[in-house]
Structure 1
Amino acid sequence: MRLRLSRRLEARATLNVAANALAPNRLRPARNELVLRDEPEALRLRWRDYFALNEHLLHVPGLSPEHDGLRVAQLSDVHVGQATSAVRIRRAVEAVNASAPDLVFLTGDYVTHSPKPLPRVRELLAGLRGPVFVVMGNHDHWVNAPYLREGFEQLGYTVLQNEHRVVHVRGAPATVLGVDDGRTGRDDVEATFRGAPTSGTRLVLAHTPPTIEKLPPHQGLVQFSGHTHGGQFVVRGLTEAVFRRAGQPYIRGHYTVRGNQLYVNQGLGFGFGGPYLRRGTQPEVAFFTLRAAPALQPAL
């Protein structure tokens, strides 16, 4: 147990150092903050089942006054199958429900390469409480996105593929815009925004982070993404260069891009006992408390 705890603490320290090195565009902590969270239950998990619970305070221009304090939970890149512990996934679902968020977002890659785990996606991600919104990732399209969509809809979750929905939470409407996967060329931002409200609380789901560059600029939008696994295997000075060369300059955490905001989730799947190693990045469940902020002004 002492060795396992030491490894967890070492991984947490590595994550903090690597995060500073990998995110030069990141929003300043004075505005949007990562809030440390006590994780006694998570620390008792076996190493292969471990994941981080990360709390974020996010200041959003144009947020509806009724949504000041709105709570959002995000799960991404679950990769059901041998690459990810089933215990980790179920504990993550329990952690989301225990936090009682107003909205739950699932941002893609529920499987990896094989269709065999497809039936288990619905089983392992069942039971999320509250309005749940889902977008697809590149691996989902490569395996069987229609099957996954049907399964999520049977659970009562809302799947968005270049679509939007207006949901009433805390007495006011919030617009959730789901852009389909950009890695496989299925993204259509114009179709997603067509007919959508142009003000108030507007939250965007898109599996691939660079979708942020296609959004209408300076609109006070917040995009929630995944795909990168936080860099997966972080080597300072190398990982960022490799990702930029691959067209993925946003690796993890908060960014501001063209007057909108982006959060890149590190993903729940892979690493810690599976066939795909992680280094300097942890599986995570991300929670956000949204706060009102002054409108962003275009740079002169």
Structure 2
Amino acid sequence: MRWILLVILYILIEFYAYQAIKTITKNQWVQIGCLAVSLFILGYVIYVFANYDRSVGPTKYSLRATAVLLLALVPKLVLVLFLFGEDVIRVFVGGYNYLTTTFFGGKDTQYMPDRRKFISQLALGIAAIPFAGLLHGIFKGKYNFKVIKHVLYFKDLPIAFDGLRIAQISDIHSGSFDDAAKIEYAVDLINEQETDLILFTGDIVNTVADEMNDWIDTFKRIKTPEFGKYSVLGNHDYGEYVTWNSQQEKDANFDAIKDIHTKIDFNLLLNESVFIEKQGERIAIIGVENWGHNFKKAGDLKKASEKVSNEDFKILLSHDPSHWEYEVKKDSDYYHLTLSGHTHGFQFGIEIPGVVRWSPVQYVYKQWAGMYNEMGRYLNVNRGFGFHAFPGRVGIWPEITVIELRKEVKPS
């Protein structure tokens, strides 16, 4: 039933889009060609997803089908908005013409005005903008890596760690990669930052551990800095979005995913903490398993913080930013800096510093990308290293975050 409703919706959108083509050109071959392309796309997408194997999960084929569907659908949604708006006006005008003709002796005229060619041309021109944006996102945007830097000041930062530089990456989603050279470039970009500590905040794969097989050597090239490399799990790392033949098979995959972190020289924190030390002072690195308001709740903040005191400066790794909103920022223990990911910024949005910052994901997550601060407690939501579901990024680019911690000095 769900698929039937989606197909009906697609056909309705196609019907409206076809009206724009008919208004602009009377050439039947052009009209038939547009319909043929639409039917081919619909058939292709139905074929791919009808043969979707839940024991395998997302593949490059399903990602490609999603890309084709969005390329066909999103521009036509723009057409629908324009043509529907025009139809509303046409209905009012038609109603007015009917009333004036029937009851007030108006001229006998065509009740419903024809569609205006100008409106259809304008709609097509504007629809070309998201189409071009999606194309760029698929072929360029998904590997348009950006280094985003923040400097944070804390009164209680141990003086020995004044100037500590942290690199955060998140949401690798290795099963989606299709360009080894671009991933090599991104790893080089991480190494060029020459940070003191590297932290990864979950989702190393889409579903299964085997996705990472071809990328172990690449990610192993991330240099281990002075204070090490630490990581946590994300919701995709539990293998819960596919069908397994047995619980034993699922458990084996989970163990293999945890082992990936060791293979690339990351210290995986499973509801536990470690300390980094310098000149007799220390900072706690706390890692929780995934805790999401709408996702798996394996994270245990209290257990992870058992060895940490209130006086310790704390950096918390927690994949889903809803954890910060619902638990962390309200906790009686003071977590100075929380690092998350998960949202990808929806891989779609508009970010112009100081002007506009918007993504559909903001209607689901209060904290969805970038740095947030409430009462001196900071949260950084990394926009993600990789991509998932849609094989592209539009306006929300893959991110490597560099955070510098500074000691806030009291004025003399």
TM-score between the two structures when normalised by the length of structure 2: 0.54
Whole-Å separation in 2 of the counterparts to 1:120 and 1:169: 37
Structure 1 segment 50-65 matched on structure 2, within 5 A: 50-65=144-159
Whole-Å separation in 1 of the counterparts to 2:140 and 2:392: 16
More strand, by proportion: 1
Q: Deviations over 1:219-275 (max 9, x none)?
A: 2510000000123222776715531xxxx221011112465210000001128xx94
Whole-Å separation in 2 of the counterparts to 1:250 and 1:87: 32
Residue 180 (structure 1) shift: 0.7
Which residue in the other structure is 1:163 paired with? 272
Determine helix, strand or coil for the equivalent of 1:110: coil
* Residues 1:254 and 2:371 are matched in the alignment: yes
Answer whether contact 1:108 1:134 (CA < 8 A) is retained.
yes
AA in 1 matched with 2:148: N
Answer whether contact 1:72 1:103 (CA < 8 A) is retained.
yes
Determine helix, strand or coil for the equivalent of 1:81: helix
Q: Deviations over 1:28-85 (max 9, x none)?
A: xxxxxxxxxxxxxxxxx96653200111111234211111110000111111123464
Answer whether contact 2:142 2:392 (CA < 8 A) is retained.
no
2:395 to 266, 280, 286: 280
Larger Rg over CA atoms: 2
Determine helix, strand or coil for the equivalent of 1:117: helix
Residue 109 (structure 1) shift: 0.7
Structure 1 segment 108-187 matched on structure 2, within 5 A: 108-128=202-222, 129-130=224-225, 131-142=228-239, 144-169=253-278, 172-182=281-291, 183-187=295-299
Which residue in the other structure is 1:242 paired with? 363
Q: Choose between structure 1 and 2 for higher RCO, CA contacts under 8 A separated by at least 6 residues.
A: 1
Structure 2 unaligned blocks of 5 or more: 1-138, 241-252, 351-356
Whole-Å separation in 2 of the counterparts to 1:117 and 1:86: 13
Determine helix, strand or coil for the equivalent of 2:402: strand
2:309 to 183, 197, 208: 197
AA in 1 matched with 2:299: D
Determine helix, strand or coil for the equivalent of 1:88: helix
Structure 1 segment 213-252 matched on structure 2, within 5 A: 213=325, 214-215=327-328, 216-217=331-332, 219=334, 221-234=336-349, 239-240=360-361, 242-243=363-364, 248-252=365-369
Identity of paired residues, percent?
27
AA in 1 matched with 2:311: S
Determine helix, strand or coil for the equivalent of 1:198: coil
Please tell me the root mean square deviation across aligned C-alpha atoms, in Å.
2.7
Which residue in the other structure is 1:293 paired with? 408
Residue 283 (structure 1) shift: 0.4
1:212 to 302, 307, 324: 324
Answer whether contact 2:209 2:254 (CA < 8 A) is retained.
no
Structure 1 segment 91-106 matched on structure 2, within 5 A: 91-106=185-200
AA in 2 matched with 1:252: A
Which residue in the other structure is 1:88 paired with? 182
AA in 2 matched with 1:242: Y
Residue 218 (structure 1) shift: 6.9
Structure 1 segment 10-25 matched on structure 2, within 5 A: none
> Does the C-alpha gap of structure 1 residues 169 and 280 become closer, same or farther in structure 2, counting only changes over 3 Å?
farther
Which residue in the other structure is 2:201 paired with? 107
Determine helix, strand or coil for the equivalent of 2:176: coil
> Does the C-alpha gap of structure 1 residues 98 and 171 become closer, same or farther in structure 2, counting only changes over 3 Å?
farther
> Does the C-alpha gap of structure 1 residues 259 and 93 become closer, same or farther in structure 2, counting only changes over 3 Å?
same
Moved over 6 A (4+): 235-238
Which residue in the other structure is 1:4 paired with? none
Residue 158 (structure 1) shift: 0.9
Aligned residues: 245
AA in 2 matched with 1:142: G
AA in 2 matched with 1:255: Y
1:265 to 382, 385, 403: 382
Whole-Å separation in 2 of the counterparts to 1:96 and 1:208: 22
After the TM superposition, which of the residue ranges 60-69 and 231-240 deviates more from structure 2?
231-240
Whole-Å separation in 1 of the counterparts to 2:362 and 2:258: 35
1:68 to 162, 172, 179: 162
Whole-Å separation in 2 of the counterparts to 1:140 and 1:242: 25
Answer whether contact 1:78 1:269 (CA < 8 A) is retained.
yes
Answer whether contact 1:93 1:125 (CA < 8 A) is retained.
yes
More helix, by proportion: 2
